[in-house]
Structure 1
Amino acid sequence: MCGRFSLTANPEDVRALFGYIEQPNFPPRYNIAPTQPIATVRQEHGQRHFALVRWGLVPAWVKDPASFTLLINARAETAAEKPSFRVSMRHHRCIVPASGFYEWRRTPDGKQPFWITPADGSLMALAGLWATWSDADGGDIDTGALLTMESNRMMSEIHHRMPVFLPPGTFDDWLDVGNVPVREAVKLLKPVPDDYLTAVPVSTRVNKVANDDADLQAAVEEQIVKPAVSKKQKPSGAGGSGQLDLF
């Protein structure tokens, strides 16, 4: 799975890779968490667009989002058939730009976080889905999820699932929901080579959503934290006016 990621690339570099028509300016984010806004790229009327969505997909048919499971990830192997994702697979495919992501390796003593990036330092294109949920008063909010698949050999040392990465040559077909059917789109969801990613252990400061700085990505000696017996807390970022803001 993928539960935290980062987007620290220069906005101009992000726009150059994904080719959307907007010119958004956004600050670096080092610890993006579920329920927070994430940047997405989608295609409408033959052009690519930049849009913010809340991380945690809510299908249009949901009556009460507060009682619905937070869907931050969708399994690439079954998303086309699952009720929560099949409409988005047909009509609302997107790309999520990322500089890297975090994953935790389970051990008998606890969890060790790792910072994972492309070995060549390039920007990631994560396969994603989005949906629009409307409340009874007519208010809309766009939400999204990341697609995941079985880990390659490198990632399997840390976790059994990993995000799905899209090479630039697949962007057009993945985003073209009008002309590329699901059965063809799913063929684009392939494992990356074992040497595509590199991972380093990082500080357990990343466990706290409020920490959002470059030091989170600095390599450290492994420092496993034993699980605490405490009440599970929801990630911050869900409250407020519902406006999406990268700041």
Structure 2
Amino acid sequence: MCGRFNVSDSPAVKQLLLRLGIDTHNWPIRISDYHRACSTISIICRLQEETGQDNVGECTVLEDAIWWLLLDYKDQQYKPSRFTSFNSRYDKLNAQGSAAYLPYRQSRCIIPASGFGETEHERINGKKKPIRYTNFSSEQALALGGLYRQWQHPETGHIINSCSIITLPPHPKLHAYQSNASPLILPLEGDWLEQWLDPQVQDVERFAPLLQPQLRQNLTAQIINKPGERKALGDPVLLEADT
């Protein structure tokens, strides 16, 4: 599953933000070579705003969010829940009662990224241990499909965002590096991004084709020694987009 990603201040990322109406001067994105679960990251979402005379409109904004969908209120602050929720599995999106069910219909978001990382595990002597770390990158920006929730602090009224990345079954071209799952990468063509962000779109059947593993853009796979150092092991491998 997607447990880390990176985002750079590249022209491709800026182009993605501008396309969605984000002012890159007023809304600086959180840049990092190594965003991990529970980090504060940047998400793109569509929120309601007052437009005057008691009218309410919508605007697309870049917001901070904790990369962990479920939060608990402890010690007068919101903290990640004990229930793992940095990813939301595709097969839970339509399961009533799941943490992802309502956000999938009401509060979808896009996590802009330059690449992501995967860890392959193996059970050794009954224990799950990492055996391979791989970083994936693209010349284009990656629009990772995500969900978000908002939590209001009971004392200050401050709104805190949390989010998750949707994961799909492993794509055959990624299977050699990660046999468990792959992140949902939204297509840049057409109006899929705009539909994904639109909270008025609650007929999620239209998104069913997106939940099938598909490589929509070229990726470069690079095996590394470990996420903290990211030292390349061997040559990078080009994974061409599906035709």
Instruction: Give the TM bin, normalised by the shorter chain.
Output: 0.7 to 0.9
Aligned length, in residue pairs: 209
Q: CA deviation at 1:27?
A: 5.9
Q: Which residue of the partner structure matches residue 107 of structure 2? A: 92
Say which structure is richer in helix: 1
> Following the alignment from structure 1 to structure 2, what is the Cα–Cα distance between the partners of residues 101 and 130?
19
Contact 1:4/1:32 (8 A) holds in 2: yes
Contact preservation (8 Å) 1:7, 1:29: yes
SS in 1 for 2:105: helix
Code of the residue aligned with 1:94 in structure 2: it is C
**Counterparts of 1:193 and 1:36, CA distance in 2:** 26
Select the residue among 116, 122, 137 that pairs with 1:101.
116
SS of the aligned residue for 1:153 comes to: coil
The amino acid that maps onto 2:141 is L
| Structure number having the greater strand percentage | 2
Measure the CA separation in 2 of the matches of 1:203 and 1:63. 37
Distance in 2 between residues matched to 1:84 and 1:26, nearest whole Å:
27
1:73-109 per-residue CA deviation (whole Å, 9 max, x = no partner) reads: 0011222324211111111001100000111123568
Instruction: Give RMSD over aligned pairs.
Output: 2.7
Whether contact under 8 Å (2:70, 2:80) holds in the other structure is no
Measure the CA separation in 2 of the matches of 1:43 and 1:176: 7
1:60-139, aligned counterparts within 5 Å?
Answer: 65=79, 68-81=82-95, 82-107=97-122, 110-118=130-138, 121-137=139-155, 138-139=157-158
Equivalence map 1:1-247=2 (5 Å): 1-10=1-10, 12-21=14-23, 23-26=26-29, 28-44=31-47, 45-58=57-70, 65=79, 68-81=82-95, 82-107=97-122, 110-118=130-138, 121-137=139-155, 138-159=157-178, 160-168=180-188, 169=190, 170-193=192-215, 196-204=218-226, 206=227, 208=228, 216=230, 219-221=232-234
Given the two structures, how large is their TM-score scaled by the length of structure 1?
A: 0.74
AA at the equivalent of 1:50: L
Letter in 1 for 2:197: L
Is the partner of 2:177 in helix, strand or coil?
Answer: coil
Gaps of 5+ in 2: 48-56, 236-243
SS for the counterpart of 1:123 is strand
- Report 1 or 2 for greater relative contact order, CA contacts < 8 Å, sequence distance ≥ 6: 1
Deviations 1:87-143 (A, max 9, x none): 11111001100000111123568422111123xx11100000000123442443110
Q: Amino acid of the residue matched to residue 14 of structure 2?
A: E
Cα distance between partner residues in 1 of 2:84 and 2:8: 25
Q: 2-side partners of 1:16 and 1:66: how far apart?
A: 31
Task: Tell me what 2:238 maps to.
Answer: none
* Whole-angstrom distance in 2 between the partners of 1:194 and 1:166: 8
Aligned equivalents of 1:199 and 1:150: distance in 2? 18
Q: Report the equivalent of 1:233.
A: none
CA contact (8 A) 2:119 2:130 kept: no
Report the CA distance between 1:200 and its aligned residue: 1.0
| Gaps in structure 1 of 5+ consecutive residues | 223-247
Please give the alpha-carbon distance, in whole angstroms, between the structure 1 residues aligned to 2:140 and 2:221.
Answer: 14
Note the alpha carbon deviations across 1:13-36, whole angstroms, 9 max, x for none.
Answer: 342343324632346310001111
